[in-house]
Amino acid sequence: MVDTPDWGHAVELDDIAGAVSIVGIGETAFTKASGRTATEIGAEAAERAIADAGLIPDQIDGLTYSGAFAGFGPADFHAHFGTNHELWSSPWGGGMAWAGTAPYLAAKAIAAGDATHVLNVFPVAWATQRAEMTGGPGEVHAQQSLKQNLEVPFGWFPQPIYFATIMQRYMHEYGTTREQFGAVAVTLRDHANRTPGAVFHDKAMSIDDYLAAPMLADPLCLFDSCPISDGGGAYVVTSTERARDLRADPVVVLGVGEGYSATGTHWSQQRAFTSTPQVFAAPHAWRMAGITPADVDVLTCYDPFTVVSLMQLEDMGFCEKGDAGALAQSGALRFDSQQIPYNTHGGLLSHAYVLGIAHVIECVQQLRGSAGAQVAGCEVAAYGGYTGHMASTLVLGRDR
Amino acid sequence: MAIERGEFPLPDVDDPLVGPFFAAAARGELAITRCAECDRLVWYPASCPVCGAEPIWVAVSGRATLFSWVTVRRPFLPAFADFVPFVTALVALEEDASVRLCTMVPEVDPSVLRADQAMRVVFRPLRFATVPDREVIVPMFVPVESSSNRPPH
Ligand SMILES: [Zn+2]
């Protein structure tokens, strides 16, 4: 057993390598405030994913969704499709870190005979909701009484402040420069410029633009931070055996990892302040897949802020701790680098803030050879999901 | 599910879990929770993660180091609109550096701040224009070399 840090832990997942595959993907438009509800967005993503798989709604007998964010649950599925068949479901799917672990839940349900075709869906309408002052990413945190009393009164709220504080400490520990953070933002914007559906598809960004951007909370500037968006995505999981009979080439789930920080959502107290629970999640996923990070052709990571990209690249084993800034500046994250093509759709920063579901879909697009910023000869893709106290790693590959 | 407490974002000094923190600050003391059995500091207030015993409140020195900080330029809550720019920070306590307090660094030019520099507690009234006629005394931290211990304007 390797020496594992003691500030968190990995979940001991069963080996599901190769058991299931992603056979359908669906995305909605990614926009600023659309005026649509999350449920409407979720229904559209679901429709498209089911059609992409060559299935009909009656054949979907499993649903993973986000119980934490109201969106598209089993009742919404039946109401939208006019169905009433039995539907196995779990509220521990959807987006964020759960976009990476939902295929594991599907694999277990399929192995148990509870379902055959499982849809994972995640919509978000925060851009619309924020305009209507009815919600947003900060609200979940503002509700917690310890944060309300010991953090918010001192101005330590919401996410941009948390991650500006992490960024400041990270810069102190590793000497990372603004130009290096800027290299992440500029690379992802270039990828978004090559991806037709990206919110920032038509807006170029140079390093000078980054350096001139207004500061939100020094050292964090506007372009270190992702926008708020409306949009959603969905994918369909089935057994790899069944997948081979369906329309698209299967994208096989090779490995899954899940890790947690011991201090939960109280990030101010996380012992390894400039690390993520990918330290625990990623090694588990690589082991299950029987690969190392060097085998990964495309990496997508949940990237609400530039520093979260750098931390995950390190914590997943793509470079030594503290070296990711230099890596980004070297151009290694570009889609055509033949090194570590990273967030090739533009990520949360420049594609859309749809909380990771589009990252998994981008992995599938890359493996199908249909991405905007397509990586030549992509055989293995990985998603790093991050939800503060939780991280997940999902390894996907082409069917052999 | 909006927050209904009218005094938000002032802390709730009547909250059973954290009320003693603010009661101590009103007396000019920095108080932290400590495990009643094994004496380790436990922060945030909770039963001890090691032995499970309940915590008690104890006074600490108020000496700390600056773990990290940011200069907030954009108010993310309306209450902070007339604070910006201001410095929000995490300080690591001298008694146990794994305990970090969220705090503000008042009356200091942010450009002089350095990671891990020595800080000391000061007690300041926290007031928000959005919560008229109410204030709560809270611990804030200033660099040790700073001579300023005056209340803000
Ligand atoms: Zn104890």
Question: How is residue B146 annotated by DSSP?
Answer: -
Say whether B1 and A138 touch across the interface (CB within 8 A): no
Residue A63 three-state SS: strand
- The three-point CA angle A294-A102-A56 to 5° equals 115
Kindly report the length of chain A.
400
b/e per residue A346-365 (b: at least 16 CB within 10 A): bbbbbbbbbbbbbbbbbbbb
A165 at B interface, C-beta within 8 A: yes
What's the pLDDT score for residue A4?
67
In this prediction, residues A169-177 reach a mean pLDDT of 98
How many A-B residue pairs are in contact by the CB < 8 A criterion? 113
What's the pLDDT score for residue B152?
46
pLDDT over 90, % of chain A: 90
Q: What is the pLDDT of residues A12-47, one digit of tens each?
A: 999 999 999 999 999 999 999 999 999 999 999 999
Ligand 1 centre from B50 Cα, in Å?
5
Residuewise pLDDT in 10s, chain B (153 residues): 345 678 889 999 999 999 999 999 999 999 999 999 999 999 999 999 889 999 999 999 999 999 999 999 999 999 999 999 999 999 999 999 999 999 999 999 999 999 999 999 999 999 999 999 999 999 999 999 855 544 444
Nearest to B72 among A150, A155, A166 (CB): A155
Nearest to A148 among B8, B83, B116 (CB): B8
Nearest-CA distance A34 → chain B (Å): 22
What's the pLDDT score for residue A96?
96
- List the single residue in B with minimal CA-CA distance to A138: B76
pTM of the model: 0.95
Ligand 1 centre from B66 Cα, in Å?
27
In this prediction, residues A312-330 reach a mean pLDDT of 98
ipTM over 0.90: yes
What's the pLDDT score for residue A140?
59
Ligand 1 centre from A268 Cα, in Å?
21
What's the pLDDT score for residue B153?
40
Dihedrals phi, psi of B25, to nearest 5 degrees: -60, -35
Residues of B with CB under 8 A from a CB of A: 1, 3, 8-12, 15, 17-18, 21, 43-45, 49, 67-74, 76-77, 80, 83, 86, 88-90, 98-104, 110, 115-116, 126, 136, 138, 140
C-alpha distance from residue B30 to each of B3, B61, B143 (Å): 28, 7, 16
Q: What is the pLDDT of residues A345-377, one digit of tens each?
A: 999 999 999 999 999 999 999 999 999 999 999
Residue A396 three-state SS: strand
Whether the pLDDT of residue A135 is over 90: the answer is no
Question: Hey, of A168, A172, A274, which one would you mutate to test binding to chain B, going by the most B CBs within 10 A of its CB?
Answer: A168
CB A307 within 8 A of CB A181: yes
| Burial class of A335 by CB neighbour count within 10 A (0 to 12, 13 to 18, 19+) | buried
Catalytic residues of A: 302, 353
What's the pLDDT score for residue B145?
80
The Cα B18–Cα B32 span in angstroms is 10
Ligand 1 centre from B44 Cα, in Å?
14
What's the pLDDT score for residue A181?
98
A216 at B interface, C-beta within 8 A: yes
Q: How many CB atoms lie within 10 A of CB B45?
A: 19
What's the pLDDT score for residue A5?
83
pLDDT band at A127; cut points 50, 70, 90: confident
Q: Classify strands A298-301 and A380-386 as parallel, antiparallel or unpaired.
A: parallel
In this prediction, residues A299-309 reach a mean pLDDT of 98
Token couple for A70: 């109201």
pLDDT band at A136; cut points 50, 70, 90: low
Domains of chain A: 20-130+229-243 (3.40.47.10)
Residue with tokens 């899940």: A258
CA torsion angle for A237, A240, A242, A244 (degrees, to 10)? 110
In this prediction, residues A125-151 reach a mean pLDDT of 75
- List the single residue in B with minimal CA-CA distance to A221: B73
Q: In this predicted model, which residue has the larger pLDDT, A231 or A400?
A: A231
- List the single residue in B with minimal CA-CA distance to A222: B74
Residue with tokens 């993520």: A276
CB A59 within 8 A of CB A87: no
Nearest to A160 among B21, B43, B76 (CB): B76
Say whether B18 and A152 touch across the interface (CB within 8 A): no
Residue with tokens 């002052």: A133
pLDDT band at A1; cut points 50, 70, 90: very low
Question: How is residue B103 annotated by DSSP?
Answer: E
Which residues, in sequence order, are CB contacts of A210 under 8 Å at separation 6+? A178, A181, A182, A185, A186, A221, A223
Question: How is residue A58 annotated by DSSP?
Answer: G
Token couple for B117: 């520099």
Contacts of residue B12 in chain A, CB cutoff 8 Å? 145, 148-149
In this prediction, residues A68-96 reach a mean pLDDT of 96
The Cα A82–Cα A47 span in angstroms is 12
Say whether A146 and B45 touch across the interface (CB within 8 A): yes
What's the pLDDT score for residue B2?
45
What's the pLDDT score for residue B1?
38
What's the pLDDT score for residue B147?
53
The Cα A292–Cα A385 span in angstroms is 18
